[in-house]
């Protein structure tokens, strides 16, 4: 079993409900256990500002699925929840599911970059993730999560919302 951390985000079509549905779908993946979920967070969009605020969360899974097969499954969940891939970079989306960390794996190919390439710069990724990790948590590439948090830009728009029903910590 590999310990996998997923970042969830949505800013269209009732984001809280999108994340609720996504967590349910994650809990139903084959060879996978949804162990814990963070609280939900709301923040202003990073990138183009003419789009709604985002709701974000993180989930901790244990899985026997291979990284690219898990990615296929996550993209199927995104599509099932109405995700449309548009040409516009950093545009609004009904659901974004990112593999942040996959055990001790370091991956960098055209489909998958793990640890996730942008996570160190995104408080709406790091804060939910930190709820699921021990204080001394070390990434596969040797970086300490505590150091990423310390050096991450402050986001004054970030608000912690409620904890979803699936939370088991
Ligand atoms: N901004 C916020 N606040 N949350 C996100 O999940 C998010 N995702 C994105 C971009 C468009 C970069 N901005 C975001 O993909």
Catalytic annotation present for 83: yes
Catalytic annotation present for 96: yes
pLDDT, one tens digit per residue, over 99-130 is 999 999 999 999 999 999 999 999 999 999 99
Domain of 80, CATH number, reads 3.30.70.560
Domain presence at residue 168: no
* Nearest one of 61, 73, 132 to 102, comparing CA atoms: 61
Q: Please give the distance, rounded to the nearest whole angstrom, from the Cα atom of residue 22 to the centre of ligand 1.
A: 17
Catalytic annotation present for 147: no
Q: Please give the distance, rounded to the nearest whole angstrom, from the Cα atom of residue 55 to the centre of ligand 1.
A: 9
Burial group, residue 46, by CB count within 10 angstroms (0-12, 13-18, 19+) = middle
Q: Is 45 in the pocket of ligand 1 (CB under 6 A)?
A: yes
Domain presence at residue 166: no
Q: What percent of the chain has pLDDT over 70?
A: 98
pLDDT confidence of residue 58 = 98
Q: How far is CA 126 from CA 7, 17, 90, 155, in A?
A: 9, 22, 19, 11
Domain presence at residue 169: no
Q: Is 47 in the pocket of ligand 1 (CB under 6 A)?
A: yes
**Predicted TM-score (pTM) of this structure:** 0.96
pLDDT confidence of residue 88 = 81
Number of structural domains in the chain = 1
pLDDT confidence of residue 167 = 63
Domain presence at residue 138: yes
Domain presence at residue 18: yes
Instruction: Retrieve residue 126's tokens.
Output: 């790091």
**Segments in the chain below pLDDT 50:** none
Q: Do residues 67 and 39 lie in contact, with contact meaning Cβ atoms separated by under 8 Å?
A: no
Domain carrying residue 18: 2-160
Q: Do residues 39 and 167 lie in contact, with contact meaning Cβ atoms separated by under 8 Å?
A: yes
pLDDT confidence of residue 102 = 98
Domain presence at residue 74: yes
pLDDT confidence of residue 168 = 62
Q: Do residues 94 and 17 lie in contact, with contact meaning Cβ atoms separated by under 8 Å?
A: no
Residue whose CB lies within 8 A of the most ligand 1 atoms, among 6, 8, 9, 86, for a mutation test: 9
Q: Annotated catalytic residue: which of 20, 96, 143, 155?
A: 96
């Amino acid at each position: 079993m590999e310990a996998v951390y997923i970042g969830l985000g949505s800013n269209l079509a009732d984001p809280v409900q999108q994340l609720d549905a996504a967590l349910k779908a994650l809990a139903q993946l084959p060879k996978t256990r949804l162990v814990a979920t963070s609280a939900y967070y709301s923040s202003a969009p990073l990138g183009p500002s003419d789009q709604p605020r985002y709701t974000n969360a993180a989930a901790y899974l244990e899985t026997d699925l291979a990284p690219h097969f898990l990615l296929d499954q996550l993209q199927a969940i995104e599509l099932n929840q109405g995700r449309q891939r548009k040409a516009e970079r950093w545009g609004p989306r009904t659901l974004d599911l990112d593999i942040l960390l996959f055990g001790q794996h370091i991956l960098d190919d055209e489909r998958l970059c793990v640890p996730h390439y942008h996570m160190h710069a995104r408080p709406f990724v790091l804060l939910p993730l930190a709820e699921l990790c021990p204080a001394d948590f070390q990434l596969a590439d040797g970086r300490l999560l505590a150091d990423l948090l310390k050096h991450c830009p402050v986001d004054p728009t970030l608000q912690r919302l409620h904890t979803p029903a699936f939370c088991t910590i």
